[in-house]
Amino acid sequence: MNSKLLNSKIWERFKTQIALFTIAIFVLLLFIITSPSVFLSPQIYRSFLSTVPFVGVMALGLTLILAMGEIDLSFPSVMALSGFVFALTFQFTGSVFLGIISCLLTGAFIGMFNGVLITKIGIPAIVVTIGMQFFIRGLSNVLSQGRAYSMKVSDHILYKVFAGEIFNIPAQAIWFLLLSILLWAVLFRHKFGEHVLFVGDNEDATRMMGINVDRTKIYAFMIMGAAASFAGILDVFRMRTWWPTMGEGYLMMTVATVFVGGTSMFGGEATVLGTFIGAFLIGSLEAGIVAAGLSGFWTLLIYGLLILVAVTIHTIMNR
């Protein structure tokens, strides 16, 4: 009886993650069957470990935002502008450390500005972040005049930390794992994470409990901005060049990662493990589709199908 009760509690707690893991295994087996020469080779998985973290890191920040019942669509442009500030600071000072600090501060400031407009002015988050998406992208293009900035960072000691390999594992993947663990601890083992989930569950009741809702939201948007900036840092180190198009194409992939992972867009519920698995699931689709012999036109179709299937399963299981 105790064993059955324990199994029931484990299932109730991890059913979303179990469902997502089952979907991921099914997709992987499908790819192995359709293109065994590609998906039985370790090289493809090393490729995933070096490319998926850029989306994954921003998806972690977006998980926090959705847990509050809010949305942020400006992060690809934040990634671009923060990366530009990094490149510009490095060009003028020659200091990688100053570039990293200025990059993170830029992202956090934009997140704070978004949060203030949403909480103090009362503009809906979707309106604010769509407007900021266009404004920031335009600002980075105007400031850079559409030119790329080459950065000689490959000889710096931090290059291996952000773009090298540790025990034959790309550093980006290790950063993604560490940040996932950190966000899990913040959400489920820290007072701030409790406040975030309370806000997403019932904002009015949270205010009545004496929790500063506005401050919680502003901090969460600052973390989202810093996460986008950190993704920009990883990308700049990997490419050793800042491009005006940095971040383009990441919006829908990041949103899809969080939804497929099982975080509710209505707030009050989040799963960091789901986001972690979802990032690799979404990140592997295009390679699997092409390796299976299908054209790239199938990618969006299968992205959409996967989102619908995953969200449907999550919704049914949470009833």
Predicted TM-score (pTM) of the model is: 0.90
242 Cβ contact list (under 8 Å, min separation 6): 83, 84, 86, 87, 144, 148, 149, 151, 236
Q: Which long-range contacts (CB under 8 A, 24 or more apart) does 129-132 make?
A: 129/71, 129/72, 129/73, 129/74, 130/73, 130/74, 132/74, 132/77, 132/78
Angle between helices 75-93 and 125-144 (to 10 degrees): 30
**pLDDT of res. 9:** 54
**pLDDT of res. 313:** 75
Question: Domain map of the chain by residue range?
Answer: 41-247
Structure tokens of 166?
């540790």
CA dihedral 208, 210, 212, 213 (to 10 degrees): -20
pLDDT per residue over 240-297, tens digit each?
888 888 988 899 889 989 988 888 777 778 889 889 998 988 888 877 777 777 766 7
Handedness of CA 239, 243, 245, 248 (dihedral sign): positive
Residues of the chain with pLDDT under 50: 1, 6
Angle between helices 251-261 and 75-93 (to 10 degrees): 120
**pLDDT of res. 319:** 63
